[in-house]
Amino acid sequence: MLRKSSERLKGDREVLLDLDTRAEAQSTESYGSLQNGSFIPPRYVNFVLVWEIRSRRKRRSERRKAQLAQWREKFVQNLESVGLVMEKETANEKKTIHFLKISAPWDVLVCYAEELCLRAPLQHLDLNTSARVLSKLCIPNVMTESVPNRPLDYYTCAFRKSKMSRFLGWEDQDTYFTNTQRHLLFQVYEILARTAYGKRKKAEVGVDRLLNEGAYTAAFPLHEGPFQLPKHEVKPDELNQRQVLYYYWARWCKWYKYQPLDHIREYFGEKIALYFAWLGFYTAWLLPAAVVGTLVFVSGVIMSVNREEICNSGASYTMCPLCKTCKAWNMSEICTLTKLGYLFDHPGTVFFSVFMSFWAVTFLEYWKRKMATLAHHWDCMDFHEEEERPRPEFAAMAPTMEQNPVTGVKEPYFPEKTRLSRMFTGSMVIIMMVRLFKIFYILIHAFNFLTQAGTIANISSSIVNLGLILLMGQVYTALAEQLTKWEMHRTQTQYDNAFIFKVFIFQFVNFYSSPFYVAFFKGRFVGYPTNYGTLFGMRNEDCGAGGCLIELAQQLFIIMVGKQLINNVQEFILPKVKAWRQKRTLAKVLGGKASHEPRRWEEDYKLVECEGLFEEYLEMVLQFGFITIFVAAFPLAPLFALLNNWVEIRLDAHKFVCEYRRPVAERAQNIGVWFNILEALSHLSVIANAFLIAFTSDFLPRLLYQYKFDNDLNGYVNFTLAYAPLNYTEYPMCRYKAFRDNNGNYTLFYWELLAVRLGFIIAFEHVVFFVLRAIDWIVPDVPESLELKMKRERYLAKQALAENQEALLVSRARAAAAATPGTSSPGQ
């Protein structure tokens, strides 16, 4: 809020103020252009609107072209009527690309800041951002770094124009509102979003709908100069905000440094800053999970060395064929697979499953505390979205107009009954697609099983499955988008929540169907020799020679790590390809060299439009599911997630700073519906891991055998193998893995084991959920220190905004005395 002003800034302010006094005398055709060669300084350009006029238009589009021009002219007239200053420029002599630069004078900003309840500084507050744990332990912190021009923290209260003198820095009108706050006032509130360009009865309002109709091709705030560092040496304090973010955040060499969250918030707004805060917090919490997971994996390596019973069995155990075209095989052939399987199937994985269940819930509880701290620090704890406007697409397609019960203004209306029927139909489509995908996936697995069995088949099917997942992900997203549009949600928040829910359901089934199938269904309905189970005339798929758990680990490794690698390559290459196409398209439109050197608004127009945070959140939420739901089968998942996220932070930072147009700043106090999805996944992970340990792992069968027969597991392998029935003549007396007698009936040990498994699931879930509820109760959502700051802030706000408090108290005392003349006290 408080910045040092120079003579150059003062000169620019005089230009803008002079510009403001002359704006009224300008015609609408000039769009507020300055005369005598003057211009709006780039630092005062709050917003830029762009439209293109292409040549060789067909005659039938002339009417549409005239209508768009009329809308633009009306829109500009209405913007001028609220006091905005505008200037129109063209990119070349052919006048094919037009830029409308918009700036808001001080009086306009003050007016809308009060209506928006923007918070303003009252008193400086020192905020300790060093790593307290390392500081207390006196350990040097290599992750901290001094970033120049760090925004200060203040006690704040709602802005009031009448109390201007009570706020810090009110004297300097140039720097009182940051550029991000100016963008917020422009886009989120009345100025651009609620200015009409046609008939209000037809909801012809706002720049969003003009963009949707094609009147404008782009609307964006300007970046604060180039991101490249100057060639000559400059002091760090002299860098612009974009250069500071690039040098201290977006570069790859800063991978181990703390993120400058205050700088990110000041430049991009709270919504984007909260995403990077959550991503950094999540990545930091992955570190202990990755360490423990790696130790559990290493302990499995050590314990697997002593597993020699199968390796030394020779030809003792002749196993029945695993598929129709397979041959009999000896148990000793899978010695290596058995050792590999024990890396993921040993008592340590049970401990790690419990640990990760506690980790997930504790992480979410402490994120709520972090989120509350950031919301207060960034002055958006009390932020509540105003009554939202109808979406442009909704306004264009709604069949009728009805009065809004909140605002009393007539708005586009879509019958609620029709919407509910469409939502029900969309839900049926989702269920059908989910079932079709499951059947399709099972058939692919069955085909692979019939044609080949073994490790090569499992790996090849996992790779094919990954390709199918990525392909179907695009199909599902497109389908979800069309279904959500068809449902005709009124506001953008309703639309976003419905779209996020659909895409997540689709992607949940898309990514997790394969691991769920291998973990809980594959090999469960195989039957036994002479009585194999079938589906559509094909023999049901059995687990490979090494067991289902090692197949699940292979699936998780290929799907999770493969997806991360492909996504990172896409995030690195696609923005550059899009930027190259954008520049190539603009070069064709311009038809040659520009008439002058590119200016800031022209350079920004060549950048790629910001695509939002949906894909970023979705990628991380799906990753969170992999490291929690199936962690018992793949303890290295947190490690690979940690490595990926270190790369992801820098990729996203580079995109936002260097390759995207500057997004419009948006306020937010949390990460929205994504937090609810994370909570659901954390609870699902407890149930999934309980079933995984009970039914997929060999932990409980080994434990029960130790309790009943031999503590050293002597003879365990032979005990787990059943003999084929006597009428199985293809390979007489071959063995298969099951607790059955010679007639194919389940043994007593099977039923005892089933009871132990069910008991383990009940005990595991109850103990873990009880501890989770205890953690939720013990850890408060708002830290005690933050509550103290909030009380202090409320006290300062009352002091600052009180209307002649002392005079008011005196007048009340006098009024009370005048109301009771001659009244004696009870003691007299």
Q: Single out the residue of 114, 209, 666 nearest to residue 411, CA to CA.
A: 209
Residue pair 548/519 in contact (Cβ under 8 Å)? The answer is: yes
Length of the chain: 828
Choice between 436 and 210, residue whose per-residue pLDDT is larger: 210
Give whole-number Cα distances, 644 to 253, 360, 637, 640, 641, in Å.
Answer: 16, 18, 11, 6, 5
Q: What is the structure's pLDDT at 631?
A: 86
- pLDDT tens, residue by residue, 73-108: 888 888 888 778 888 887 666 667 888 888 877 766
Residue 594 has pLDDT above 50, yes or no: yes
> Confidence band (pLDDT; 50, 70, 90) for 826?
very low
Average pLDDT over residues 545-558: 80
Residue pair 645/585 in contact (Cβ under 8 Å)? The answer is: no
Look at the block and give the residue holding tokens 């802005």: 159
Tokens of 752: 């005892």
CA distance 239 to 229: 8
Look at the block and give the residue holding tokens 């998780």: 556
The overall longest dimension of the chain from CA atoms, in Å, is 120
Say if pTM beats, i.e. exceeds, 0.85.
Answer: no
Q: What is the structure's pLDDT at 380?
A: 75
- pLDDT tens, residue by residue, 332-382: 888 877 777 777 778 888 889 889 988 998 899 889 888 888 888 887 776
Tokens of 347: 């008592």
Q: Helices in 99-145 by DSSP H: which ranges? A: 106-115, 132-136
Our CA dihedral for 658, 662, 663, 669, rounded to 10 degrees, sits at: 80
CA distance 799 to 112: 24
Q: What is the structure's pLDDT at 760?
A: 92
Domains of the chain, by residue range, sit at 270-414+488-778
Looking at mean pLDDT, say which of 28-37, 55-64, 676-685 comes out highest: 676-685
Helix (H) or strand (E) run with residue 330 in it: strand 329-330
Tokens of 291: 């360490």
CA distance 310 to 313: 5
Residue pair 96/54 in contact (Cβ under 8 Å)? The answer is: yes
Lowest mean pLDDT among 644-658, 730-744, 771-785: 771-785
Looking at mean pLDDT, say which of 37-46, 183-192, 452-461, 724-733 comes out highest: 724-733
CA distance 533 to 587: 65
- pLDDT tens, residue by residue, 447-485: 555 444 455 666 777 787 788 888 888 888 888 888 888
Residue 229 has pLDDT above 90, yes or no: no
Look at the block and give the residue holding tokens 């992480």: 363
Q: Collapsing DSSP states into helix, strand and coil, what is residue 47?
A: strand
3-state secondary structure 346-367: CHHHHHHHHHHHHHHHHHHHHH
CA distance 714 to 716: 6
- The secondary structure of residue 93, as a DSSP letter, is T
Q: Single out the residue of 537, 520, 518 nearest to residue 445, CA to CA.
A: 518
CA angle 363, 367, 371 (to 5 degrees): 175
- pLDDT tens, residue by residue, 102-127: 887 776 666 666 555 555 554 444 44
Q: Single out the residue of 297, 302, 303 nearest to residue 349, CA to CA.
A: 297
CA distance 508 to 639: 22
Q: What is the structure's pLDDT at 25?
A: 34
